[in-house]
Amino acid sequence: EDKVVQSPLSLVVHEGDTVTLNCSYEVTNFRSLLWYKQEKKAPTFLFMLTSSGIEKKSGRLSSILDKKELFSILNITATQTGDSAVYLCAVEAQGGSEKLVFGKGTKLTVNP
């Protein structure tokens, strides 16, 4: 059965800190890995990763995938209180119904 495990489950930091969120996965016929940010509403798309070793960046956020070791990390530098959210990692398998398998998320709290 496809599985996604995120760590840590929760994290509390101070503004300005750098954080690294982890996502490991087991999936048959991997297609892509996605990161979402969920505040008290819709998960909003951050990144889609399909190739190993290629970093994707968006402002203070970046992410990279390692298909050999089956994990991804999401980095946030110079954190701000607005980064407080649950960060969700999901994987999609090829040949299936395009459904996403989600981890439980990492709850990030950034204190001023």
Partner 1 sequence: NAGVMQNPRHLVRRRGQEARLRCSPMKGHSHVYWYRQLPEEGLKFMVYLQKENIIDESGMPKERFSAEFPKEGPSILRIQQVVRGDSAAYFCASSPRLASDTQYFGPGTRLTVL
Q: Catalog residues that contact partner 1 under the rule CB under 8 A.
A: 4, 31-32, 34, 36, 41-45, 48, 50, 88, 90, 96-105
By beta-carbon proximity to partner 1, the closer residue of 59 and 97 is 97
Work out how close the CB of 69 gets to partner 1 at its nearest, in angstroms, rounded to a whole number: 21
Pick from 78, 41, 86, 81: nearest CA to 61: 78
Give me the sheet containing 71-76, strands edge to edge.
3-7, 19-26, 71-76, 61-66, 56-58
By beta-carbon proximity to partner 1, the closer residue of 70 and 100 is 100
